[in-house]
Amino acid sequence: MFYHLLYPLHTTFIGFNVFRYLTFRSILAAITAFLIVIIFGNWFIRMLKRMQIGQVVRDDGPETHLAKEGVPTMGGILILSAIVGSSFLWARLDNAYVWLTMAITVFFGFIGGLDDYKKVSRHSSAGLSARGKLVLQLVGAMAVGLFVFFSPGFDGHLAIPFFKNLRPDLGWFYVIFAIIVIIGASNAVNLTDGLDGLATGPTVVSAAVYLVFSYIAGNIVITEYLQVHYVPGAGELAVFCGAMVGGCLGFLWYNAYPAQVFMGDVGSLSLGGALGTIAIIIKQEILLAIVGGIFVMEALSVIMQVGYFKLTHGKRIFLMAPFHHHFEKKGWHESKVVVRFWIVSIILGFLAMATLKLR
């Protein structure tokens, strides 16, 4: 909004010219989202307590998690409000990709919110049915896949990190691929959200990396130099990514151990869906498996555990899945698990950035 209101005034005062720059607006979007969460955080937590919207702990979880029972949840509503509000203020509102990403983020937040509501109202860890959740996710992910597929200048070739000449063309299958990426990312972040601050940290790293890649994808000069996909208009997603970084950092202020509030599925499903959508739009889909390696490991740990359990009639690979609970069972303190996962996420972020030159 500020771009449309203030940038035209640069002919009167040259200082308003700063609103044309993506870097400036991305930084301000991050700061704005951070401040929104910080300013309204305590009020929002008190409201959740008054409404008795508290965490319901799994019966089969680690014993140390019993203390989390009743801690306010659905804090993801605050994150979403900060991200969407900040993006609305600082992004160009004539950009279809910005609106698409905001819409999908809110839609996946609605799915997570419905799931959280059922858990809280029933006072049970069983929320929305797996089938119902998947059907709704499928609708949102398909909308993104079809939108991108029918966009002018669509390129169905995949960018494979580290291999500049390996670019398979998926054709119509790209829509299915997009659905898998978005739903997979959404559920992977959801599975990671099991410890105080665990999902928030890697999300900050992933959003920061995609901020850089979004900026690059929308700049034809840089894309030609680095030999990556050029997507006209995708640069504005850097502003959205900046808002994600700021919103999640602000939430981490309250979500760090011991957490005052949890994001709930309304936060984790929407953040994962947003990352998957951005990856699809800027044509850096495979990169998400690198920068979001923590999310991938968490999801794979569940798949491996369930599969092995069924094949061996009751045996387990991990002491408990998702993966982070395995380390808790081994005696690691929760905060140690979280910080070490953050460290791995940061290293993976550096590796993702290195793919720009290592081709």
Residue range 246-278, pLDDT digits in tens: 999 999 999 999 999 999 999 999 999 999 999
**What Å distances lie between residue 317 and 71, 98, 164, 322, CA to CA?**
31, 42, 37, 11
The structure's pTM equals: 0.94
Q: How far is CA 22 from the centre of its chain?
A: 21
pLDDT at site 67: 59
Give me the amino acid identity at 148.
Answer: V
End-to-end CA distance of the chain: 38
pLDDT at site 199: 95
101-120: pLDDT as tens digits: 999 999 999 999 999 988 88
pLDDT at site 58: 61
pLDDT at site 121: 81
Structure tokens at 242: 């900046």
Q: What is the DSSP letter of 158?
A: P
Q: How many angstroms separate the most distant Cα atoms in the chain?
A: 75
List beta partners, residue 54: 72
pLDDT at site 351: 95
The candidate with the shortest Cα–Cα distance to 263, out of 116, 47, 88, is 116
Cα–Cα distance between 213 and 125 in angstroms, integer?
37
Those residues of the chain that have pLDDT short of 70 are 57-67, 125, 359
The candidate with the shortest Cα–Cα distance to 110, out of 209, 235, 204, 118, is 118
Residue at token pair 């998947």: 134
Give me the amino acid identity at 290.
Answer: I
Cα–Cα distance between 228 and 306 in angstroms, integer?
38
pLDDT at site 194: 86
Cα–Cα distance between 68 and 297 in angstroms, integer?
24
Q: Do residues 96 and 257 touch, judged by C-beta distance below 8 A?
A: no
pLDDT at site 237: 98
pLDDT at site 243: 98
Taking each helix axis as running N to C, give the angle between helix 22-50 and helix 76-90, from 0 to 180 degrees, rounded to the nearest 10. 150
Residue at token pair 């299958």: 173
Cα–Cα distance between 232 and 152 in angstroms, integer?
10
